[in-house]
Amino acid sequence: MALRFGTYTEFQGPPGRDHAELIWDVIEVGVQADQLGYGTFTCLEHPWFEKFALNAFPLGVFCTLAERTRNIRFRTLCHTLPLHNPMVLAGQIAQADILLNGRLDVGVGRGHAWLNEPANIDLFENVERYPECLEILLKAWTEDRFTFEGKYYQCHDLQVVPKPVQKPHPPIWQVGTSAKWVPRAVREGWGICLGGPAPNVAFAEAIEQYHAAVADAGTKSNFGYSKAVYLDEDNDKAIEEGREPLINFIHFNVSPMDSLPRTTPEEKQRLIDAGYAFYAAEDFPNTRNLSYEQLLDLEIVYAGSPERVGQQLVDLWDQFRFDEFLLICHFGGTRRWQAMKTQELFWKKVRPMLNEAQEKASKKTVVAAA
């Protein structure tokens, strides 16, 4: 399977930035992505915390972009299922699939720990609400009428309409830091997405487990990886121009952690007991204490010329063998022209390097098999 390329954005909102201006900037960057040939435009659903994201309505973004694009697909990474009434969300996603003419993927997950209490969801209920929500979505899309008796959700002889145009339902992607849900995703052939504002080594164990599960199940790998990148033809210029937005990218990602009670051992244990061990650890929040040079050296973010960053990503692909790379080019206060510059340079100069690396590896595999 040829390596695929898409984009990802969190709609990060620097304080004081006009929200409407930022959202329309992202729309235009998405239009350019389609014109260049990227396969997927992805973003997350996130209703609060301005710095982290300004995107409470991703399906609306997709429908707007669908009117301005021809080929690119759309994917939410992710719908935070426990925040929703799944009987309602199922119909909303299905209708979006109709309006997008089948250009929709569905990302699902438990969501960030900091999203629960603002939504009046008990932290400890999240882990049990999630699989119930997912089962209801699948039933709503594939059965004319269904009954569900769960701990948190119940319905009797319910008909959810409309039905999606993609059968049996839009492609599903699993998002999250926990490996708990990976076996089902592999068994069902769902995609997996990882990456983001952390050292690549932080994802190594989960990726190894995923590849092992795929091999054991005899299914095809469908694994996406995202990373924040700033490019310019001039290496030094890229590094300098990328300094402020890339530092902001990390700080804005970490900022909602301050809303979580996690100071005492008892508070951290509460997060662990609720299935949110990632948020009890210090690795993620400590990234904001790193210098810009450390962020680059640890490859938490990338900045430089297409040749420099391209080689870094070739090395990363050789290590992780992701099937899709999701470029993060709009973040931390970047302007529209900056995101578009990175997006175009990546497509024209970095993408061919990755394609060539994959082609060489495929030839080696064929020779070894012979």
CA nearest to 42, candidates 11, 21, 70:
11
332-355: average pLDDT: 97
Strand residue runs (E) in 47-103: 73-80
Q: pLDDT at position 253, please? A: 96
* Backbone torsions φ then ψ of 299, nearest 5 degrees: 55, 35
321-337: average pLDDT: 97
Q: pLDDT at position 366, please? A: 59
CA nearest to 95, candidates 24, 23, 168, 170:
170
Structure tokens at 22: 């930022």
Q: pLDDT at position 178, please? A: 61
Q: What is the 3-state secondary structure (H, E, C) of 269-297?
A: HHHHHCCCHHHHCCCCHHHHHCCHHHHHH
345-355: average pLDDT: 98
Report how far residue 22's alpha carbon sits from residue 20's, in angstroms, rounded to the nearest whole number. 5
Average pLDDT of the chain?
A: 94
For residue 84, is it left (φ>0), alpha (ψ between -120 and 50) or beta? beta
- Residue 62 placed within a domain: yes
Q: Which domain holds residue 23?
A: 4-250+294-369
- Overall domain count for the chain: 1
pLDDT tops 70 at residue 274: yes
- For the chain, what percent of residues have pLDDT higher than 70? 97
Report pLDDT digits (tens) over 51-96. 999 999 999 999 999 999 999 999 999 999 999 999 999 999 999 9
CA nearest to 325, candidates 76, 107, 22, 39:
39
- For the chain, what percent of residues have pLDDT higher than 90? 87
Give CA 44 to chain center in angstroms. 6
Structure tokens at 41: 């435009």
- Residue 289 placed within a domain: no
Q: pLDDT at position 181, please? A: 75
**β pairing state of 223-231 and 324-328:** parallel
Report pLDDT digits (tens) over 14-56. 999 999 999 999 999 999 999 999 999 999 999 999 999 999 9
Whether the upstream peptide bond of residue 197 has omega within 30° of 0, thus cis, is: no
- Residue 119 placed within a domain: yes
Q: Domain of 36: which CATH number? A: 3.20.20.30
Structure tokens at 81: 């299922």
pLDDT band at 202 (very low <50, low <70, confident <90, very high): confident
pLDDT band at 278 (very low <50, low <70, confident <90, very high): confident
324-352: average pLDDT: 98
